[in-house]
Amino acid sequence: MNRTHLPGIIAMAAIVVASNILVQFLFGQWLTWGAFTYPFAFLVTDVMNRVYGPGPARKVVVAGFIVGVLCSLIGTQIVGEFGPLVTLRIAIGSGLAFLIAQLSDVAVFNQLRQGRWWRAPLASTLIGSSLDTAIFFSVAFSASLSFLEPGNDVSWAGETLPLLGIGPMVPLWVSLGVADWMVKMMLALLALVPFRIIVGKLTAPAT
């Protein structure tokens, strides 16, 4: 392992662990605190991609995926008021969403890396974040995928309610997904500031 890549791996692991813990705590009606930490995983991936290239960025993604799997395995052994904190569907959804979204982020960033400095991180994060939200909430809660874990009753997520309390009638998990996606979009824009600063520091010539 290249020692220069270690900070990225540690940062990704810390974000994944923190998000897995904070997702247990609600923020308002539609979000958890984990929604505000997990999007920074894309910032880590994009910084690694810009500074070191797509290969090291993928290594950081794989490291984050492994940490996420370990967190899921631990979560399945912790029983809360309504059963295990992490169900099979949540574990599958989380793993698939992370891997597909992050690798897509790396690929999109690499295609746009020659453009203006903000295009690659913004476009790759927007696309990756959208994939992440769509894959996770569909796999974890959609009634059409109940065959993944027949014994897991997620009927609560299918309760029909107004979208975010004000829109058309949709399953509850759709509102949860839309709220999560909106936070990711907001943080994708805000993350351009630390991206610019961190990349500038890491690529500045030594004095």
Report d(CA 7, CA 13) in Å as an integer.
Answer: 10
What structural domains does the chain harbor?
A: 3-203 (1.10.1760)
> 12-21: per-residue pLDDT in tens?
999 999 999 9
What pLDDT band is residue 27 in, cutting at 50, 70 and 90? very high
Report d(CA 177, CA 27) in Å as an integer.
Answer: 14
CA-closest candidate to residue 102, choices 196, 15, 198: 15
- Residue 80, pLDDT > 80, answer no
Residues 166-187, mean pLDDT to the nearest whole number: 96
- Residue 82, pLDDT > 80, answer no
> 90-118: per-residue pLDDT in tens?
999 999 999 999 999 999 999 999 989 99
What pLDDT band is residue 81 in, cutting at 50, 70 and 90? low
Q: How far is CA 157 from CA 44, 86, 109, in A?
A: 31, 15, 34
Q: Is 167 helix (H, G, I), strand (E, B) or coil?
A: coil
> 28-45: per-residue pLDDT in tens?
899 999 999 999 999 999
CA-closest candidate to residue 177, choices 149, 126, 135: 135
Q: What is the pTM of this model?
A: 0.93
Q: Largest Cα–Cα distance in the chain? A: 61
